[in-house]
Amino acid sequence: MSEFHSKIKTIEWHKTNDGGCSVMVDQTKIPHSFEYVEIKTLKEMYDAIKTMIVRGAPAIGIAGAHGCALFALELLKKYREENGAEFLKELYEGFEYLNSSRPTAVNLSWAIKKQKELVEDSKNIPGMTLRKIAELLIENAIKLENEDIEINKKIGDFGAEIIPKGAGILTHCNAGALATVGYGTALGVVRSAFAKDNTIQVFADETRPRGQGAKITTFELVKDGIPVTLLTDGMCSYFMKNKMIDVVVVGADRIAANGDTANKIGTSTVAITAKYYGVPFYVAAPKSTIDLSIKSGDDIVIELRDEEEVTVVNGKRICAEGVKVINPSFDVTDNALIAGIITEDGIFKPEELKEKLQK
Ligand code: MRU
């Protein structure tokens, strides 16, 4: 395949003799430049997630898994075998610190939990050493990385079934290759649908305040030759009323057990508008984004970000000094507005999630 998305990995572990490091696309630079950064420490990973060098729920999850491995490598320089208990104590404190970098996307805590379980299980393996623990964390991070792409392709194939011929597909934010290790969730659905029917097209909301739709979604779709039209965030009603949108597909940061879905701020406005105009609204997400431990969206912690993301554009203040600003990064779309949740196991109605996914 020669498409852009199949040539890049948003985040990837690079192995070296001393263990390796995490290499990721710096998403704060897109579309002006496409650069990779090397992340070598826990602190650098915390900052990369917080400042959104890496972003998008599944990509943040993998960043979390990498960060755990990086910290274990750092601690190897500080502790000897006989100080195993102190090593573990500091390792787990580091895991907690990393987990606090962004609160809403559950994929981060999901991946860190998986890494912690691995370390706990390793206690039962005879001859375990601190170095072997670090190696296990690296191998697991690489495994999760590879699985992410496979999962997204399954989501794409299931999702392509609900895309009508020649459809106009509206999406919000970026749930593409660059929000995952590769291929994407909502844009994975677009990619799989486009492979079967190249008359479909995408309408991408710009996604204020950070502009992921304008900067990242249009970037990756144009590179892949998939037709895309850029909308400002208030335009969806116009396009729906004029019958240019046949279906909405968005990603998710956390889905509660009842199907309520947190995604980028502005998503619920699109869903409410879609309901009004009778346009089906779908969420595409891996099972790792579904948090069955919380009953409804009321329990989802919404990240509040710096007010400068709203008041300053391209380095210039765009509003009066003294204006009040609240900058929630996500909102929750009510389950009643969601036609289906597209996962790697199939498409479920919000009310089916608990029954189908609880093991
Ligand atoms: O703040 P971001 O850019 O990390 O928010 C990203 C989104 O809201 C995505 O839609 C979501 O994480 C799904 S990505 C497959």
**5: confidence class by pLDDT, cuts 50, 70, 90:** confident
Q: Kindly indicate the confidence band of residue 2, based on its pLDDT and cuts at 50, 70 and 90.
A: low
- Of the ranges 250-254, 305-309, 352-356, which one carries the lowest mean pLDDT score? 352-356
Distance from C-alpha of 130 to C-alpha of 19, rounded to nearest angstrom: 13
**Residue 57 in contact with ligand 1 by CB distance below 6 A:** yes
Name the burial class of residue 12, with classes exposed (0-12), middle (13-18) and buried (19+) by CB atoms within 10 angstroms of its CB.
buried
Q: Give CA–CA dist 247/340, Å, rounded.
A: 11
Confidence of residue 357 (pLDDT cuts 50, 70, 90): confident
Average pLDDT in the chain: 97
CA–centroid distance, residue 267 to ligand 1 (Å): 11
Residue 356: per-residue pLDDT: 86
* CB of 180 shorter than 6 A to ligand 1: yes
Q: Is 56 in the pocket of ligand 1 (CB under 6 A)?
A: yes
The answer to whether 253 is a known catalytic residue is yes
In this predicted structure, the answer to whether residue 128 has a pLDDT above a threshold of 80 is: yes
Annotated catalytic residue: which of 148, 253, 291, 331?
253
Centroid of ligand 1 to alpha carbon of 5 (angstroms):
17
Question: For residue 63, how far is its CA from the centre of ligand 1 (angstroms)?
Answer: 14
Say what the pLDDT of residue 320 is. Answer: 97
**Average of pLDDT values for 201-209?**
98
